[in-house]
Chain A
Amino acid sequence: MTTVLAIGFALLAGAVPAARLSARVSALLASCACLLLAIVGFVTAGHWSSAHVNLGSWIGFGPSALVSDRLAGLFFALIGVTGASVSLACVQRPLRRYPAALHATLLLAVAVVVGADQGFLFFVGWETITLSLYLLASADREDPRNLIYAFFGGSLSKVGGAAILAAFALLYARTGSFEFAAWQHAQLGGLRDVVFVLLVVGFGTKIGLIPFQSPLPLLYAAAPGATSATISIAFNAALYALWRIVFGMLAPAPMWWGEALVVLGGLGALVGILYAVTQDEIKRFFGFSSVEHGGIVLLGFGVALIGQAAHQPKLAAAGLLAATLHLVMHGIGKTLAFLAADRVATETGQEVMGPLGGLAKLIPQTAVGFGVAVLTLAALPPLGGFVSEWFTLEALLQGFRLNSTIAQLIMALGGAMLALTAGIGLLAFARAFGGIFLGRARTVLPSLQVLRRLDIGVALLTVICLGLGAVAPWEIHLIGSGLQDLLGFDLSTTTISHPLVLGPVYPNFSVLSPTWLSVAIPVFLITAAVVVRVLLRPPVRTAPVWMSGTYAHTAAAQYTPEAYAHPIRVVLAGAYGLRRTVTAVEGEDGTRQVETHIVAAFEDLLYRPLGRFAVRTSAYVRRFQSGRLGQYLLYVLIVLLVVLALIPALRS
């Protein structure tokens, strides 16, 4: 497997310069590489083999290698499959050369982050992700807003990068090594909490952890074409880092870590879906939905940390299983969603839902892909999203096993927030699908370019999404093996009580059989259809839509996507800061213009003040930039003295 892994990385690295020649060749190389990575991932996650590509020693940073162990294998499998799908889509509908190179770079960086066995290599990969994201988001310069989004997202990522660097520096200071193996047994003492906070902030900037949720959807929206899907793959790198470093290396965790993450996760899920439900731009909608799903993953992860802190390995396993299931489902579903969104944009020339409608009959292929993605993300049975959200909820319900009342309360609260999120999620995804594909077109589209060719990437992911619920028992076997190093036992032994019946790690708590559900629900639907169509065979007569006796404006008389979500905005008008103004239009009798204002609480209350502060500070700092050599030498001296003073302090 080592060879396969090496070839995979080599191909991926080769895909970057190949983009100079041809974007299509580059994408082809990337898809082959990703397939190889996926194979390595499956094999190593199941622990049938392992892979270790030695990269030798870096000056001053110790030996390094690209490794695929059980945990990395899981993530390699995920990013391999999704990366291959996106690359295949790019083979069929090539990007321009510059984004194509960035696409390959981003995939390579994600693979490096997952494969890195030491902190420095990890950090190089991480910063490459940051840079690629920034460049991707600013690649399309036709819309000046993209530059702003890229700058906003990029600067926040830099803050995250700085936090990670600081955390790694602390770890290095304590262990004298960058190797993960060394960090695993670091004696951090009081610094453990500091490192935890720094790492959560650092990784959180990439998964839209509250309060860093706003830039992420902007990056998705700004990225050109299918590369939004690439960015959603990078999302998984940050989650991998949480699994590997926070759960795997900082243990044993104090109780409050998990509690904090459950609260942040619940809030993030709720805020994400509440923002998502009001978005009109399709990619931004899915971006906020990523914030939501990031929150749900964190809910499970928080339970895992609580279980670890409470020394209840089964609770930790329940949380981690739920979180892993959810991130896998989300990784696949969201990639599919972005690919489908890109197809919609290519076919209709529209990136917003408002003017669309009734496209299901015109672009059925896209509609199927989009629909499956949306059903998965909306957590409808029997698909994968339902299974993972069920596991998350079950994990949160295990709070009664804890002694701490606060933890019990917080987990109950997390469950409530998850339920609310899932409810609003249904509304949000029904709106997205219904607004785009059902009903009638609201406006005459200037051009509709129907892609007749089957998109292999989309088809692959659609099939996986459809089967993800049904194959859940086998998926759990693989995840159990993948998480064995972290948890110390194979969780599939207690989760799967009967070959096809699942429980939330704790046996005899509750059961679910997604496989049977996947069989039963379609069987019922087909039976009903057969009974009606074949046996009863009612005479059918088609009449126009009944609308109070009028046939006019049938397209204008259907709910617009925004209007569909408006009731929830009215209910939560206070939280959104919703304000509607109706003003008369000049020169036209009685016609009025309606404008909706939503006060973006996070933007106005957090980001803007912070931005102003940063600008002021940099203006202040600039005063020190005199250009005189003597002064700079003085600065160097001061820094040296401070560092020299710090080192003994940290060593003690």
Chain B
Amino acid sequence: MNVIRRPSAASAGLSDHGDAVVAGAHVDQRWLPVSLVDLPEIAETLVVDGARLVSLFVAHRPRRSLVVAFALRGELISLRAELPAQGGSYRALSRFSPAAVIPERVLYEQEGVTPTGHPHLAPILSPDVDDFRRNIRGESTFVIPYGPIRSGVFETIQYVIDTGGEDVLSVDVRPFFKHRRLERRFEGLSILHGAFLAERVSGPASVAHAIAYSEAVERALKLTPAVEVQSWRVVHAELERIASHLEVATRLAEDAALAVGAARFGILKEDVMRLRARLSGSRFGRGAIVPGGFGTKPIIAPAEVVAELARFEDELRRDRKLLLDTGSFTDRLIGSGTLDRKTIDAYGGIGPVARACSVAVDARFERPYGAYRHLGLRIASATAGDAMARLAVRFEEIETSLHLIRQALRPRRRGEVIPDGHLSAPDANGAAYGWAEAPMGEVVYWVELTAGKLSHVRIASPSLRNWPLFAESFRGDVLTDFSFIEHSFGLSPAGADK
């Protein structure tokens, strides 16, 4: 096993006794065993205290229990309440936290756990294309079912838009048309195969999912991969972020009918994708990240990456300036889809959407993982909360990403054995969280291992947590703003679907 063991490093997991096992000086997660009756009350206290709901799922190790994970001040606080062997019910968290509405519906359908008092406990995972409800009453309004098959090369999702002609009165987001039941698919896979599945949960966030999964496995097995491995993970992850943000810029330029702009950003994105292909053999960095080591060793040398990015950065800077100086483009973005801090907090918004609203949430910063612990990171943020702010945050993040890649690729003391191959732990048991900051926000994996195989995996997808915010962002916006707002969010329905 080519892993450098550092038992005292920041890895924490859940022991089989159910106590929190905290290793090392840096505490980044905490477990609170509670009873099912007390859970809603404690959760409410946490929410009032400003905690952000991260994940809501049923864990099976050590016993079947309901776990509610909150992020609060650099910690992942998990409330764990034991459930009966079948079913179970508790007072719904969505009574006080709108962020819990969708997770509780999923929980109800997937696990049979009933949140009592939930405002709308209808099945959500297998939507019927012909069965949607209108959310607006009023003689003069009508409904536009936009999706599942939408106009353009987009991922499948259905927006049920209630409109009075031009103004968007309500948007109902129905993201589960692509539900592939992948969480269940993990069960029984080997650790390695699990990594390959994780990176196929969401294409635009392949690397982030692979990292979150690998982190979880590594934490469960209490091991830390080599620095070299962790540094390259940063490179892959940041290249993915750059590509994703450039995709957003391309889409927005397209929406504004800025043909040359769209072409320019399309070229830049393609440059990044090609660099990723040269680096890992996959245009999506797939196969590069597996628990414990390298999946694919970098094909090209660090110097080549740095040189390529220097060229890229120069071009990007010019295009970005030109784009932000184009009035016909910025006019469509400024003031469109505005969100305020209060809404972001209520829904537990994450990623660039939250950061554009001066909410500094970033897993790389809050709970640093892997090589991010040693890298200098500046959180990009803006205050306006509109589509323009979201784009500005993305551009700033691209610069940060380039900076991070350069830091990660700095020549360092050689001598460490660079591991080749991957982890295999034939009899490993354990369970742990792992997380990573995907381009659209943090993705959190809960991984349980039984006898060296994956026995239970739950994914808190970043897109799913931001979809309700998308619906909330239409305040006085009209139909023609729709695509601008949608693309400025940069979410991926596949990521939401799991």
Query: Which A positions have Cβ atoms within 8 angstroms of B?
Result: 280, 354, 547-553, 556-567, 569-570, 580, 582, 585, 589-596
Contact = CB atoms under 8 A, between A and B. Distances in A.
Given A559-B142, A562-B140, A549 B149 contact: yes
Given A548-B145, A550-B148, A559-B165, A596 B140 contact: yes
B142 A594 contact: no
B131 interface: yes
B167 A553 contact: no
29 contacts: A354-B139, A547-B145, A548-B147, A548-B148, A549-B147, A549-B149, A550-B148, A557-B142, A560-B140, A560-B141, A560-B142, A562-B165, A563-B165, A565-B165, A567-B165, A580-B164, A591-B135, A591-B137, A592-B136, A592-B169, A592-B170, A593-B137, A593-B138, A594-B140, A594-B141, A594-B164, A594-B169, A595-B138, A596-B164
B478 interface: yes
A548 B158 contact: yes
Contacts of B263: none
Nearest to A556: B143
Contacts of A559: 142, 165
B137 A566 contact: no
A553 B135 CA distance: 13
Nearest to B146: A548
Interface in B140-189: 140-151, 158, 163-167, 169-170
A247 B132 CA distance: 63
Contacts of B134: 553, 556, 591
Given A570-B478, A592-B136, A594-B141, A548 B149 contact: yes
B131 A552 contact: yes
Given A563-B163, A590-B120, A550 B142 contact: no
A565 B166 CA distance: 9
A551 B134 CA distance: 15
B130 A589 contact: no
A194 B150 CA distance: 65
A214 B323 CA distance: 50
A565 B121 CA distance: 37
Contacts of A560: 139-142, 165
Contacts of A548: 145-151, 158
Given A566-B165, A570-B166, A552 B138 contact: no
Given A552-B131, A585-B137, A567 B166 contact: yes
Contacts of B130: 550-552
A505 to B, nearest CB: 42
Nearest to B138: A594
Interface string B349-386: 00000000000000000000000000000000000000
Contacts of A547: 145
Nearest to A555: B142
A201 B496 CA distance: 67
A561 B164 CA distance: 10
B24 interface: no
A442 to B, nearest CB: 8
Contacts of A596: 138, 140, 164
A566 B136 CA distance: 16
Nearest to A566: B165
B280 to A, nearest CB: 35
Given A354-B140, A582-B136, A590 B119 contact: yes
Contacts of B129: 549-550, 552
User: Which among A547, A548, A561 has the highest number of chain B CB atoms within 10 Å?
Assistant: A548
User: Which among B141, B143, B147, B169 has the highest number of chain A CB atoms within 10 Å?
Assistant: B141
Contacts of A570: 165-167, 478
A547 B166 CA distance: 18
Contacts of B139: 280, 354, 560, 562
Contacts of B165: 559-560, 562-567, 569-570
Q: For chain B, which range describes its interface: under 10, 10 to 19, 20 to 34, or 35 or more residues?
A: 20 to 34
Given A548-B158, A556-B143, A566-B165, A592 B137 contact: yes
A582 B169 contact: yes
A562 B130 CA distance: 25
Contact of A557 (B145, B158, B166, B167): B145
Contacts of A580: 164, 167, 169
A244 B151 CA distance: 60
B137 A563 contact: no
A639 B166 CA distance: 61
A348 to B, nearest CB: 16
Given A548-B146, A548-B150, A557-B145, A562 B164 contact: yes
B231 to A, nearest CB: 45
A556 B142 CA distance: 6
A478 B147 CA distance: 59
A452 to B, nearest CB: 31
A309 to B, nearest CB: 45
Nearest to B139: A354
A553 B141 CA distance: 13
User: Which among A280, A354, A596 has the highest number of chain B CB atoms within 10 Å?
Assistant: A596
User: Which among A354, A550, A559, A595 has the highest number of chain B CB atoms within 10 Å?
Assistant: A550
B140 A566 contact: yes
What 6 pairs between A and B have smallest CB-CB spacing?
Answer: A566-B165, A563-B165, A562-B140, A594-B138, A552-B130, A549-B149
B153 to A, nearest CB: 14
Contacts of A557: 142-145
Given A564-B165, A594-B137, A553 B478 contact: no
A138 B441 CA distance: 66
B142 A563 contact: yes
Nearest to A562: B140
A588 to B, nearest CB: 9
A562 B131 CA distance: 25
Contact of B119 (A564, A585, A589): A589
Nearest to A546: B149
A567 B164 CA distance: 9
A159 to B, nearest CB: 34
A552 B120 CA distance: 21
Nearest to B129: A550
A558 to B, nearest CB: 6
A556 B161 CA distance: 12
B132 A549 contact: no
A446 B387 CA distance: 47
A280 B149 CA distance: 34
Contacts of B163: 563
A638 to B, nearest CB: 57
Contacts of A592: 135-137, 169-170
A552 B132 contact: yes
Contacts of B151: 548
A552 B167 CA distance: 22
Nearest to B149: A549
A552 B174 CA distance: 15
Nearest to A571: B166
Interface in B98-144: 119-120, 129-132, 134-144
A89 B191 CA distance: 84
A550 B164 CA distance: 21
Contacts of B142: 556-560, 563
A51 B119 CA distance: 80
A564 B158 CA distance: 23
Given A556-B142, A563-B166, A592-B170, 16 more contacts: A354-B139, A354-B140, A549-B148, A550-B129, A552-B132, A557-B144, A559-B165, A566-B164, A570-B167, A580-B167, A582-B170, A589-B120, A591-B136, A592-B135, A594-B138, A594-B140
A563 B150 contact: no
Interface in B433-475: none
A565 B119 CA distance: 35
A590 B134 CA distance: 10
A354 B140 CA distance: 7
A594 B139 CA distance: 9
A557 B131 CA distance: 13
Contacts of A569: 165
B21 to A, nearest CB: 41
